[in-house]
Structures are given as structure tokens and as C-alpha cells.
Copies of this chain bind each other. A is one copy, B any other.
Amino acid sequence: MGINFKNFLSSQKNNNKMGDYQSLDHLDGVAISTISANLYNNTRDDLVMFYFRDGANFASLYTQSKIISENIKWNLSQKTKKIYSLIVNTRNANTFTGTKGYQSLQKIADLVSIKLTEKQKNDDNNPEKINSHHVIFGCTGTIGEVFPLEMIKRSIPNLLEQIKYTQNKYIWTKAALGIMTTDTKPKLAMEECKIGSAKVKIYGIAKGSGMIHPNMATTLGYVFTDADLSNDILKKLLKKNVTNTFNAISCDGDTSTNDMISIFSTGKANNQKILNFTDKKLKEFDISLNKVLLNLAKRVVSDGEGASKFVTIKVKNSKTEEDAKKIGFSIANSKLVKTAIAGEDPNWGRIVMAIGKSGIEFNVQKLSIKFGDLKIVINGKLYEKYEESIVKEYMKNYAIDIEVDISAGKKAFTVYTMDLTKRYIEINADYRS
């Protein structure tokens, strides 16, 4: 269970099928602290605090599950324009922990806000009064276990002490490692772009390896920018860009009670005020945000529990985007498709099965399927020059691209997933032991 941070960075050199992650450095207005609260009963980092000294505008999207964790209830209840801290713990989901779980968050937020207010007085010229409603939470881990309030409370002095005001790659990586559960790799991504003449940064970290099927927001994802954008614009940007990134991935078809994705803007880049979501000055930012989210989402899939392959499923020429999405996820969530890919078996019949069970109406006589550039099915028939040995060779790749053309319209949707291996069973048949 333990992750040795120093060993980790060197071990990653041989483990970068997704490509190494970028070097995130300082992002003005964000401070980070990552420590071990001993939640895993060892020294691995498990508690991360993001501290926005001057506050941050923010927007969040949460799981659409009908059963939600106590921290999501908490976050939804805090009516505040600015956030001063995001605290993320791993090991315990704080779900099905009832009033006690919720009250634990109140106690932590009370304590943290008092301590941060003190800190502001000591550190700053213009101290700000921080209240408990300025603090939000991300929780991830096992459902239904008592929330470790005392362990976390006991760790808060240390958490405050370890705050780093200037970041670099190591501090960001430490934070990304600190929010992991069954993940084997930290997920980080960044882009730089301009809003008007101002250069801005968009940094993001995410965690997620199991219980990953999108429903609004998926897994934990946190994006930080020094741009100055209102909560309303942040919300619209996040909603729009989650659709084809975090909401386009599936590892196991299971939706978490804790899914959360947030964006925080510190405003330090001093860009021109943007009043309208449709302002053309936002275009670059919009594209860059999408890149960061897609990069993170792909890293989540690539590190999906037990994954040995990264699978991209593009469904095109559908009547609606929703149709393409349904077919894509029907393929992505099929155990038979995923095991065939794990076995490097070009069993395209299972893809046909998954398309059929999606329930979407289309003319089978017009169905075409490709694996990479290899034609498999053309107009509802096996391609006349189909050669299994060549396709079998293709299946040995790490990245498998499946393209399904249903010739029913002009819409498309791309879904990302991984294969289903014995390792998945190993991980999940004794997750808690």
C-alpha cells in the first residue's frame, strides 16, 4: 500500500506508456501541503491541502449517483463566492457515514478556518477572515467505514506547517500521489495560453482507477488556474469541457458516490475581465482547459485497475451525439470486448454484439468497423480482404483504436477505456485486505 515518493519518481521512467506527464511549476495564488495522517496505517501521503491565500473563484461538478458522500453534501451546502481551501483525504470515502460523517467535516473546517485565519494574521499585510464555509472537501476510499476524524484533526497542525507557497514539479507530484487510492501512477497535466494579452496557466491533477464511469463528473479532478474568471464562467467552461473528457471515459462501468471535479481560479494573471462566456478572448483558454481535462482523463483510463491496454472507441456518423455515446459506452463497458482486447484477440464479433445491445436503431447494412487503419467490417459485411493474422498483429499494440461508423447522420463521440485483465480481479477481490 505504501508509496515511497523517492523510489516512485525513478520507477516511473520505465512505466510511461501514456508519455511522461509535464513539468508543472509555480502557479501564483495556490499553496499546497501534502502529508501522511497515517490513514493507511503507514507513512504514505494521504492528506492534501490546497490553500488559496487570497481566495479563489471556483466551480465544481459532482457525481449524479443517487447516493452521495457526506463531503459532496458539505460542498453543495457552502454558499460562498470564494474558496480558501480544498482538503482531500484518501482511504475513506466518507459515504454512508451519516450525520457523524458530515459533522466531522464541520469540525475539520472549523479548525482549519481558525488556523488559516491565524496564519493570515501572522503572514499577511491584509489578513482575510476565513470561515468554515470557505473550505471544501474531496474524499475517496472505502464506503461505509467510520470517517477518521481524530486522525485528521491531529494532523492539521502538521498540514498547516508543511504548506508550500512556491510549487515545482515535485510538490505537484507529491500532491497527485497523496490523493491516490488504487492508482499506480499520479495524474498531472498542464497547458499555458492567453486570455487577451495575459499569459495564463492551467494546471490539473486527478485520481481514479476504479469505480469509473462518467456521470457528470467522474473520479477526483482538480484544476487550478491563475486566470481571473468568475464562478459563472468557470462553471460553464467546466460543464462544457467535461462532456468529451471526464464524461467520455469508463474503466469498469461503476459510478462513484464521490465523483468531483473542480476548477479554482486565483486571478493572479491579471487578465482583462471577461464578462461573457461567449467572449472570443476565452477561446484559447477553452481549448487549453479541454486539453488539460482530456490529458488527465486519459491518464485515469490508462491507469484503470489492471489495465494493460488503452482503448479509444470513436463512433461516428450517428444521428445524435447521444446515440454515438451510447454505442461507445456499450462497447467500452462490455466485459467480453474488454477481455478479448486483454487477450489480444481480434474478436470483432463481440463489438458487433455490443453495438447491437446498445439499442440504437441504424441500418446494419451500412455498418463499418475499423481497428486502427485496418478495415474489418465494410457496409455490414466482413471486409473481403480481411486477414486475421494482420489484425492479430495490430492487437499487440498498447493503444487500440476502434472506429465504428453507423452511417446514420453526422454526429460523433469518442469514448476511452482499457482492457479487463486478471489483475483487475486481483485488485478488487481483496481491495480492503
Residues 239-279 (chain A) with a chain B CB within 8 angstroms = 252-257
Interface set, chain A 204-260, CB cutoff 8 A to B: 210-211, 213, 215, 252-257
CB distance from A112 to the nearest CB of B (A): 26
Q: Does A382 contact B (CB under 8 A)?
A: yes
Q: Which of A171-216 contact B (CB under 8 A)?
A: 210-211, 213, 215
The answer on a CB contact under 8 Å between B252 and A336 is yes
Which residues 14-68 of A sit at the B interface, judged by CB distance below 8 A?
Answer: 64-68
Instruction: Verify if A426 is at the interface (C-beta below 8 Å from B).
Output: yes
Query: How many residues on the A side are at the interface (Cβ–Cβ under 8 A)?
Result: 64
Task: Tell me if A357 counts as interface (CB < 8 A to partner B).
Answer: yes
B358 touches A66 (CB 8 A): yes
Specify which chain B residues have a CB less than 8 angstroms from the CB of A65 in the assembled complex.
353, 356-357
> Within A329-384, which residues are at the interface with B (CB < 8 Å)?
333-336, 339-340, 342-343, 345, 347-350, 352-362, 364, 377, 380-382
Instruction: Compute how far the CA of A29 lies from the CA of B49 in the bound complex, rounded to whole angstroms.
Output: 76
Q: Is A96 engaged at the interface, CB distance under 8 Å to the other chain?
A: yes
Partner of A354, one of B215, B254, B348: B254
Identify which of A64, A66, A253, A358 gathers the most chain B CB atoms within 10 Å of its CB: A66
Q: Is the CB of A430 within 8 A of B343?
A: yes
A254 with B143, Cβ < 8 A, contacts A65-B353, A353-B67 known: no
Segment among A76-84, A103-111, A153-161, A416-424 that sits at the interface with chain B: A416-424
Contact of A428 among B335, B362, B425 (CB under 8 A): B335
Tell me whether A11 is interfacial, beta carbon within 8 Å. no
Contact (A345, B253) CB under 8 Å given A143-B350, A352-B143, A360-B66: no
Q: Is A409 an interface residue (CB 8 A)?
A: no
A329 to chain B: closest CB distance in Å? 12
What's the minimum C-beta distance from A1 to chain B, rounded to whole angstroms?
A: 16
Q: How far is the CB of A182 from chain B (nearest CB, A)?
A: 11
Residues of B close to A432: CB separation below 8 A: 345, 347
Q: Bound state CA distance, A334 and B96, in angstroms? A: 19
Pick from B215, B353, B431: contact of A254, CB under 8 Å: B353
CA of A211 to CA of B420, assembled, Å = 15
Instruction: Give the interface of A toward B (CB within 8 A).
Output: 64-68, 93, 95-96, 98, 142-145, 210-211, 213, 215, 252-257, 333-336, 339-340, 342-343, 345, 347-350, 352-362, 364, 377, 380-382, 420-422, 424-426, 428-433
